[in-house]
């Protein structure tokens, strides 16, 4: 198959077969591919929020250390191949298509899901591309996530934890923490300093190290400077939680023996699309953010309140398995609000979503697409948020205009 064909085949499989959690199929597929995970030094990252940012920081640190490293993270924001990076650059479509095809052909006889095939293809690609290290982001949870079929790891990293996917992971933070902790297998574990209460107590009982000690964080609209472990760092990633995400990556890298110079340069060079991403175009400011749960909306709302005007336009869409009420509650201070549907088989039906939005924003508008909402917007500041699925269309609209 050509690249477009294999990507579409996997998307069709994702829609038809959905998710089927467990490790046996992934392990069998990895073994069929020659156990590529055993040829890599792996950092495994789980958590509710901040996984993508921490993976980006770690990948940049590895690159600045001069070691070849792969990074597998989801979801895709602007292009499918951005989920499969080597040395912080997406694999070429030709090479990625070949790895996906091999994994797909072997995975079909094992009944593997689309995500299991993608996970195995990523590990196989990284090993074949000569990577020494790999940063792997959990898809959902940890204990039964396909990525946890990895045999050995150098470190297990746990980012911020919140209520998510409760039907699968549990109804309390402690139950969800137990699922996330499932990635800790004969390796050091490092947990964000944002963990508190029973979550912190639980991970402390497992012997985890906490990334405590962020000090003097001076946050502005385009990044921040902070001190951690007595050393100064600067970063371009936006939002009030980024110093804590960065500190988690710093702590992990230091424990693995990487030097301060490479860590500092890696943190400073990190950039991640779709996380309070700011684009300025013809006198207007657009913020693109994949916030999709109350915790991530808290960080976005903090940014909007501090650095944008009350007249900013919010364009919002949500998937059906999210805490929509909890997300919308964080934006109650806004005045201009537009609800749009997400381009996903998991999307909340538009009329149902609009009714929920009207409870919080009586003057909310409704548009049939992100592009239509942007066409109608006249505000100088526009925020597109609620799901990563909205951002690709928004980015294309902005670039064309």
Q: For 346-381, what is each residue's pLDDT tens digit?
A: 788 888 889 999 999 999 999 999 999 999 999 999
- Is residue 163 pLDDT above 90, yes or no? no
Question: What value does the mean pLDDT of the chain take?
Answer: 94
CA-CA distances (angstroms) from residue 367 to 156, 317, 350, 370?
Answer: 43, 10, 9, 7
Quick count: other Cβ atoms within 10 Å of Cβ 209?
15
Q: Would you say residue 1 has pLDDT above 80?
A: no
Confidence of residue 20 (pLDDT cuts 50, 70, 90): confident
CATH architecture for residues 3-269: 3-Layer(aba) Sandwich (3.40)
The b/e string for 169-198 (b: 16+ C-beta within 10 A; e otherwise) is bbeebeebbbbbbbbbeebbbbbbbbbeee
Tokens of 87: 């040395």
Q: Which 3 state secondary structure label does DSSP give 158?
A: strand
Taking the complete model, does pTM exceed 0.85, yes or no? yes
Element containing residue 260 per DSSP (H, E): helix 260-269
**Token representation of residue 254:** 């230091």
Query: CB-based burial of residue 385 (10 Å sphere; 0-12 exposed, 13-18 middle, 19+ buried)?
Result: buried
Q: How far is CA 19 from the centre of its chain?
A: 18
* CB 312 within 8 Å of CB 336: yes
Give the model's confidence band at 21: pLDDT under 50 very low, under 70 low, under 90 confident, else very high: confident
Average pLDDT over residues 231-246: 97
The upper half-sphere exposure of residue 28, i.e. CA atoms within 13 Å in the direction of its Cβ, equals 13
Burial class (CB in 10 A: 0-12, 13-18, 19+), 368: exposed
Same fold? 3-269, 277-400: no
Bridge partners of 160? 49
- How do the domains of the chain map onto residue ranges? 3-269, 277-400
277-400 maps to which CATH number? 3.90.190.20
CB neighbours (10 Å) of residue 260?
13
pLDDT band at 170 (very low <50, low <70, confident <90, very high): low
CA quadruple 330, 340, 293, 391: dihedral positive or negative?
negative
Percentages helix, strand, coil for the chain (3-state, rounded to 5) are 45, 20, 35
The mean pLDDT value for 74-85 works out to 95
Residue 164 pLDDT grade (very low, low, confident, very high; cuts 50, 70, 90): low
Q: How many percent of the chain have pLDDT more than 90? A: 83
pLDDT class for 64, splitting at 50, 70, 90?
Answer: very high
């Amino acid at each position: 198959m050509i690249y477009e064909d294999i990507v579409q085949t996997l998307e069709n499989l994702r829609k038809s077969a959905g998710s089927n959690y467990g490790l046996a199929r992934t392990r069998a597929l990895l073994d069929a591919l020659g156990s590529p995970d055993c040829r890599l030094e792996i950092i495994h990252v789980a958590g509710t929020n901040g996984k993508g940012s921490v993976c980006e920081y770690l990948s940049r640190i590895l690159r600045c250390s001069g070691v070849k490293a792969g990074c597998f993270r989801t979801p895709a924001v602007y292009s499918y191949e951005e989920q499969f990076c080597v040395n912080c650059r997406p694999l070429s479509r030709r090479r990625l298509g070949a790895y996906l095809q091999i994994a797909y052909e072997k995975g079909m006889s094992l009944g593997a899901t689309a995500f299991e095939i993608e996970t195995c293809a990523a590990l196989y690609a990284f090993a074949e591309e000569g990577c020494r290290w790999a940063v792997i982001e959990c898809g959902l949870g940890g204990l039964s996530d396909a990525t946890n079929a990895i045999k050995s790891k150098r470190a297990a990293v746990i980012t911020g934890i919140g209520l998510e996917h409760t039907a699968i992971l549990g109804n309390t933070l402690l139950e969800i923490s137990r699922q996330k902790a499932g990635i800790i297998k004969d390796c050091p574990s490092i947990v964000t300093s944002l963990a508190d209460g029973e979550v912190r107590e639980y991970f402390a009982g497992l012997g985890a190290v906490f990334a405590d000690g962020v000090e003097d964080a001076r946050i502005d609209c385009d990044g921040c400077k902070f001190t951690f472990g007595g050393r100064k760092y600067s970063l371009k990633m936006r939002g009030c939680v980024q110093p804590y995400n960065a500190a988690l990556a710093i702590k992990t890298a230091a424990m693995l023996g990487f030097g301060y110079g490479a860590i500092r340069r890696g943190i400073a060079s990190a950039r991640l699309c779709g996380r309070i991403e700011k684009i300025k175009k013809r006198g207007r400011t657009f913020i693109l953010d994949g916030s999709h749960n109350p915790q991530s909306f808290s960080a976005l709302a903090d940014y909007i309140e501090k650095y944008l005007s009350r007249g900013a336009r919010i364009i919002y869409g949500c998937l059906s398995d999210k805490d929509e009420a909890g997300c919308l509650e964080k934006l109650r201070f806004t005045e201009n609000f537009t609800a749009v549907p997400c381009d996903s088989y998991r999307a909340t039906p538009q009329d149902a979503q609009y009714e929920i939005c009207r409870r919080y924003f009586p003057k909310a508008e409704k548009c049939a697409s992100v592009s239509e909402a942007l066409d109608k917007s006249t505000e100088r500041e526009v925020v597109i948020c609620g799901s990563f699925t909205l951002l690709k269309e928004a980015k294309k609209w902005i670039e064309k205009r």
